[in-house]
Structure 1
């Protein structure tokens, strides 16, 4: 990914990234300049939410919190793309951090998408670090018939340091890891997979409208820094998810299997990207509908408008419009989903 330094700005970087993702099979959303995210991209089970900046220090804590919660709700990977901080340009294949969100350069993203090369180095206060795979380190040491002290002496570290590395995935300086790899003639560092969904944080339950959806069994989670008003998530699998999360903590050997089951259960919760009337005029509603349709298309989640005032329309720019009086007559979530499907089919 070659960016012309003379033409570097957020608009150009965003355009380049969008074209990169499209060329490698991702479906991308429109670009949302005034949102907590700029771009959504999906390929198979991978969903990425990107915020693109020139100076990564311009990311606010409010933006980061909202982005993190949107990613958690959508089971997506939040990534900040940046070119520099206040003092320096960011380096390729290094993962930085701002407000607990990962930050990488456009070229690092390109290496991940194009070559499936994930970075191994991460930056923290005090310098650059890598993570040691303790189990691999022990296996390779034993294969060479080296004791802890022998490997420590050859690598210019203490015996206690080698022991600590082998007991868990410890972090160390890249130079130390390189010395160990030269002695063992094997790679022992862990790559950082930014596309792996780990974030369980989700949008807050802040609002109590539309109460008709709440009555059906949805949690309404508001969003103030996105092109839509809220995300509605049914709670029918909440107990199942809680039990699975407890198993996830207690059975590390089953972690991948349980995580997949959690994701499946969560997706069955019928997340709805939700918009409200709020006294908005037709032009505003149409503008919101166009953005919401785009986001719905990329994420794979259904969208709807919940309207109070009776109008002669069942869709707003192909987004189903459901009236509060209709929801009041429904007995369960399946009735709502059936009506949404019918109105989607009518719009198509």
Structure 2
């Protein structure tokens, strides 16, 4: 007795989703192995070419390239539907990218095709990113009466980065997006149309804030010297590092100096807790911090 494979079950699931979405479908069977297109679907004048896989990583470069070329030749949309990518289960609210082709889970496909729900997050080269709506971003910043400089300082970004965001010329990392959403609301981000919106991986750029770079390097120092790091959001001290012998109270300092009141309060906290106050400058602060830690070890 023949048993239905996991791939066949998934393929049937994708076909059912397309049928529920009102698509006319054709199942491609040639070539038998390593084909680029498994399904051709059409709704009104829109044609979609779909490759189905259990793991998107297993799809070869030739198949991906043929799928991309076919979509250009036939003025069609293209998509990969998979359960996993590089062995990890696809998140149902994230659009992944492989060879400049969007990769989605069956769950996301159903949300998009049947329920008309669009996701917000891309995963490109392992990085989670969102795209800003430039018009809403500018409108919201104006409504909040925030200058570029004020917003840039709060987010640990340069004014140039904020300018590029307002022009819609760069993607926003998830960490920065969360900070932006806290200031300005989630509706400043563009929804993704998995069939129409594309990212060219070769041209993919993202501006990492100075704060993100510092966080990564600071985490490395914490691990290297066996310190415990605690981050704060609503105190004058931004970070506390606790070691066996010494505790540091750290205040971040951006391009514009931190307010005197913040420094004064942090100094009082450091004095009362018998910790060492460090004002962490973006450019040189980590090197100085590491030198001090080495000296105290």
Q: TM-score with structure 1 length normalisation?
A: 0.51
Q: CA offset at residue 198 of structure 1?
A: 7.2
- Cα distance in 2 for residues equivalent to 1:186 and 1:153: 20
Map 1:118-267; keep pairs closer than 5 Å. 118-185=118-185, 187-196=187-196
Query: What secondary structure sits across from 1:176 in the alignment?
Result: helix
- Note the residue ranges of structure 2 that are not aligned, 5 or more in a row: 200-297
| Large movers: runs of 4+ above 3 Å | 153-160
Structure 1 residue 36, shift from structure 2 partner: 1.7
Distance 2:71 2:63 in 1: 12
Query: Which deviations, in whole Å up to 9, do the C-alpha atoms of 1:21-62 show, x marking residues without a partner?
Result: 112211111342633211111111221111000011111111
Counterpart contact for 2:83–2:106, Cα < 8 Å: yes
Cα displacement string for residues 163-208 of structure 1 (whole angstroms, at most 9, x for unaligned residues):
2311333212123122212212351112221222879xxxxxxxxx
Which residue in the other structure is 2:43 paired with? 43
Gaps of 5+ in 1: 1-6, 200-348
Report what 1:10 is aligned to: 7
Q: Does 1:114 align with 2:78?
A: no
Q: Which secondary structure does the structure 2 equivalent of 1:82 belong to? A: strand
Aligned residues: 193
Partner of 1:73: 73
Per-residue CA deviations over 1:57-82 (Å, capped at 9, x if unaligned) read 11111111221222212211110111
For the residue of structure 2 that corresponds to 1:141, the secondary structure is helix
Quick one: distance in 2 between partners of 1:49 and 1:126? 25
Alignment of 1:79-98 (within 5 A): 79-98=79-98
Alignment RMSD, CA only?
2.3
The aligned runs of 1:278-289 (5 Å cut-off) are: none
Structure 1 counterpart SS, 2:95: strand
Correspondent of 2:25 among 2, 23, 28: 28
User: What TM-score, normalized to structure 2?
Assistant: 0.59
Q: Is the 8 A contact 2:55 2:87 kept in 1?
A: no
How many angstroms apart in 2 are the aligned matches of 1:118 and 1:66? 27
Give the Cα separation in 1 of the matches to 2:120 and 2:190. Answer: 6
- Residues in 1 aligned to 2:100 and 2:85: alpha-carbon distance in whole angstroms: 16
Q: Which residue of 2 aligns with 1:105?
A: 105
Structure having greater relative contact order (Cα 8 Å, sep ≥ 6): 1
Distance 1:49 1:108 in 2: 17
Cα distance in structure 1, aligned partners of 2:86 and 2:194: 24
- Summarize deviations over 1:100-152 as a string: whole Å, max 9, x none: 21111111111111222222211122521111222321121112221112223
For the Cα contact (< 8 Å) 1:50–1:80, is it kept in 2?
A: yes
**More strand by percentage:** 2
Q: CA–CA distance in 2 between the matches of 1:91 and 1:186? A: 19
Q: Structure 1 residues 31, 19: CA separation in 2 closer, same or farther (over 3 Å shift)? A: farther
1:186 to 1:61, Cα distance in 2 relative to 1, 3 A:
closer
Does structure 2 conserve the Cα–Cα contact (< 8 Å) formed by 1:134 and 1:169?
no
8 Å contact kept, 2:101–2:198: no
